[in-house]
Chains A and B, each alone.
Chain A
Amino acid sequence: MLNYIIRRLIGIIPLLFGITIISFAIIHLAPGEPTTQQEFMTPRISSDTRARLARLYDLDKPLHIQYWHWLKRFICLDFGRSLADGRRVIDKILERIPVTLTINILALVLILSVSIPIGVISASKSGSLFDKTSTILVFIGFALPSFWIALLLMQLFSVKLGWLPISGIKSLDFEYLSWSGKLLDLIHHLILPVFVSSIGGLAGFSRYIRQNMLEVLSQPYITAAKAKGLSRHQVLYRHAFPNALLPLVTILGLSVPGLLGGSVIFESIFALPGIGELFYRAVMMRDYNLIMAEVVLGAILTMLGNLTADIAYAYVDPRIRYGDGSR
């Protein structure tokens, strides 16, 4: 096991390099130089100041030296300052993480607790009315644009019925509420975002679990279990179910990029102060330092997601770690 982990850890080093090189290349796609914006704001800049600015940003050095300096700062998590308000980029990102994390964890709990039963039941009653209905719902769930369903639900629950707040994470009088009042207020604000961000996952996971379950049910050991005279319930839940859930570990790790991308859309619709909304603002204001920091961190997070998924999978399924390790 340790061997496997070490092998995988060594494998990510070139990926890390690749991620930083691609990100660095993207910054250099930008027309003009990072100083253009600063110069634009102070039009009467002298050529002397311009040269000093260029030196500050290493623009007078060849590209590979620039990359090297950028990488050194990057390893110390120094992404420079936001062009919007001059605060350190890393601080702006760190303070946004709790909101995004909370929503995604809640969404994940909702997704797993709904999609596992749906997937298992549709597979065990393959071809039944339940299976057919859930398949149709899954197809619709795949096709639903999250921002559209968000608009419709806001229209219904926030504007028409007035049951739920339309946006934001807390009410104006949040500071004056009691402890339980605060919690209730947060829950109130999170219902729509959590539901909206779960739809895609609900569809995906239900279908995935159904397929896994069907695959497992066709294995010889299930036939053996049936032949042994085990009850249907025992075959399904003792023998098939745990094996069908194994690959779920991988899918959880692989869903990181989708979750990050999705957070941009629904956090900006619901005006939630998470990293997605921060990214959206950064893009609108062309805050390059912030954009690059989020792209690089997003990529590293995705990579770590894949890595954890692989290691977790190797842990639960010994065939992987004793295999050739090419996975």
Chain B
Amino acid sequence: MYGLGIAKGFLLTMKVFLRKPVTVKYPEQRLKQHPRFRGEEFVWYEERCTGCASCAKYCPLGIIKIVTHPGDQKPLEGGFYDIDVFDIDIGRCMFCGLCVEACPYDALFMGSGFEEGQYRRDDLIITVDRLRAAEKHPSTWFRPQLEDSGYDPHKDSPASWEKVGRENWPFHLSSRPPGPADSDEGAQE
């Protein structure tokens, strides 16, 4: 009472005043991001994508558009579909990552950036050409094999599809069970 409480408050603000500020000058200085950060610019490995469109099916907003045609080899005989269109409208994307979680072949990864601001809405649609040409800095979100290899998308060089590896077990389990992988569950809706 008698203003002592106020005086204590003044002392605290002065203490903070003399400390270093916690914010940084953003474009020059950056705070550290975790490799798991779910960011923009999805990373897609065409080599591994079969065109099954599981990602499109699991997207809560339906913003992934995939058009395919059968490739040279019949898909039933182990071949892939050829991808004609693979559009991701990140203008509406909420980065929940369900598409990545649904991908049975580890072909789709979350990106790691957050500076994809554009002046026009159309530019926010990531087309298949852009996906092919993009520098591949995949986030380690939901890809434990990548996380175990210690990959950091914010520092390391772009990762090729061989490097990011493929998970062969149901990796929700923290211990690696023996035996081959289960196939994707519930993909035939």
Q: Do A and B truly interact?
A: no
Enumerate chain B interface residues (CB-CB to A < 8 A): none
Enumerate chain A interface residues (CB-CB to B < 8 A): none
